[in-house]
Structure 1
Amino acid sequence: MNRRTLLAAGAGLALAPLARPAFANALETLRARKKLLVAIDLGNPPFGQSDAQMQPSGSDVETGRLLAADWGMPMELVQVTGPNRVPFLLTGKADMVIASFSVTPERERVIDFSAPYGVIQIVVAGKKGVEIKDLASLAGKRVGTTRGSSNDKEFTDRNTGAQIIRFDDDATLITALVSGQVDIMATSPQVMQTANQRHPQSPFEVKITLKTNNYAIGIRKGETALQAELNSWISANLKNGKLNAIYKKFHGVDLPAEMLA
């Protein structure tokens, strides 16, 4: 085999994972299976985490369980990280992603989303007493974030010279913050709150709010029947207060009033 043939074969292998397998109607499939495969990130407290008994917990975990219960079937948790949420969905390892999945134009080119069921801010946080006036003041400083997250993208797009240190999930980022590997982070208030609970002697605070995003349930493109069912379920459970109760239990605040209307 000559060099050109080898290069062509290698290129084909590199592109192979991007090919999307054909799927039947996802709603019909999961109903026939009688089990809901939900991708959730357990390294992203308080959305997904392991409790003291090492059992899955968090607002996304309870949201998935509520959905499965309302649909009359068990939920099988498919554990993912921020970077592999979309690949797991596109390769059929999960029916949907419930993992603080912010709705962004980039993601909407690849997958579809349900109606929003929560909100999450993107912030720059630092130690109390440390002045951070603006993004320009971060030039040359180490800023931690979670690889592949909307926090990562938003900060990267607006970065003006900071050294970005990327971690594979929020749990690893939190450990880095608590251990002093980084003193500044581009993340969510929820991650900041978890870091403060782990190390209250030297707490972080929000310095800059970059953006407020809606998050929703991610599904494969073209699954209109599944999307309609999810939208109906989200609407009903926002109105009856169940989704707000889950959000408040884990995040300490209510969802925005306009989302509950």
Structure 2
Amino acid sequence: MKLNSKFKALLTGVTLSLGLAACGGSAQEAADKPAAAADTVAAIKEKGVIRIGVFGDKPPFGYVDAEGKNQGFDVEIAKEMAKDLLGSPDKVEFVLTEAANRVEYIRSGKVDVLLANFTQTPERAEAVDFAEPYMKVALGVVSPKNQPITDVAQLKDQTLLVNKGTTADAFFTKNHPEVKLLKFDQNTETFDALKDGRGVALSHDNALLWAWAKENPDFEVAIGNIGPAESIAPAVKKGDQALLDWVNSEIAAMKKDGRLKTAYEKTLMPVYGDKVKPEELLAE
């Protein structure tokens, strides 16, 4: 049986579509996937705004001041990114996040880049792509000055306060099951619980604890360094190589030209003073 040319063309198209579908997608999807990844930076430029996830309650890294403005170390880095990519530090949309939902905000596309004091871990690296780090930290433990916790052994069968989804949560869950953990979503809740005596101590990044203890002199960071040294880095959606490359180049530039140190001097040095040196926290 002879087929006319129009039917042949139709049959060929159907066969091709079925073949692509069997491989997991349509012809349009196959064409769009690499383009979507390659056009991320261009899409941000066309939109004229970059959405960056930061904390709203974690001074001095990310917080909202009395006038409703975003402030902090991560915020300064975000403004530099917006200025370099879009020509103005004002072209950043700050998306407030909490520790427990940071990965979801990246995976769902709610943010383009995450800068919410995000510690780089192997588990998180399976879900997101990390850029080069800009800070280095370890865990610490803060407790009342009149009842200081100076050794992890003192926490046995005691209640330790942590934030859900943080490295402190993961570290104590894995390594110290003898410690009772009371977990909160927001930093303000966790620190208020410490003030209220709902736990004997609180564990978080040491950089944050030093800053908090300075503002709350009835407490001290009697354990300043536990667990492995870790890095804090920006993160983007898994597989978004174009945006990852751009963020990497931006962090490298900020380190080289001194803008990262300038951000430190503006936001962190007034908090730490001489107690902490920039090189102790800034990644090389």
Is this a same-fold pair by TM over 0.5? yes
User: Could you tell me the TM-score, scaled by structure 2's length?
Assistant: 0.77
Gaps in structure 1 of 5+ consecutive residues = 1-21
Q: Stretches of 4+ moved more than 3 A in 1? A: 129-134, 255-260
Describe the superposition over 1:100-156 as per-residue Cα deviations: whole angstroms up to 9, x where unpaired.
111100001111011011122211222335454532321111100111111211122
| 1:3 match | none
**Fraction of identical pairs, as percent:** 26
Contact 2:142 2:219 in 1 (8 A): no
Contact 2:99 2:165 in 1 (8 A): yes
Contact 2:158 2:199 in 1 (8 A): no
Moved more, 176-185 or 113-122: 176-185
SS in 2 for 1:99: coil
Aligned partner of 2:182 among 165, 174, 183? 165
Partner Cα distance (2:282, 2:214) in 1: 30
Report whether the alignment pairs 1:118 with 2:142: no
Partner Cα distance (1:197, 1:209) in 2: 17
Q: Which has the larger radius of gyration?
A: 2
Shift of the 151–251 alpha-carbon distance from structure 1 to 2, 3 Å rule, reads: farther
Note the C-alpha offset of 1:198: 4.2
Contact 1:244 1:255 in 2 (8 A): no
Describe the superposition over 1:200-220 as per-residue Cα deviations: whole angstroms up to 9, x where unpaired.
2x1222325223211111101
Aligned partner of 2:36 among 24, 35, 41? 24
Q: What letter is aligned with 2:36?
A: A
More helix by share: 2
Aligned partner of 2:279 among 239, 251, 255? 255
| 2:21 match | none
Aligned partner of 2:222 among 206, 212, 217? 206
Partner Cα distance (2:199, 2:211) in 1: 15
| 1:181 match | 198
Report whether the alignment pairs 1:108 with 2:122: no
User: Could you tell me the TM-score, scaled by structure 1's length?
Assistant: 0.83
| 1:222 match | 239
SS in 1 for 2:174: helix
Partner Cα distance (1:203, 1:131) in 2: 8
After TM superposition, list the pairs within 5 Å mapping 1:232-251 onto structure 2.
232-251=249-268
Partner Cα distance (2:210, 2:46) in 1: 41
Describe the superposition over 1:47-92 as per-residue Cα deviations: whole angstroms up to 9, x where unpaired.
1112232311111111101110111250001111111111111111
Aligned residue-pair number: 238
Contact 1:170 1:191 in 2 (8 A): no
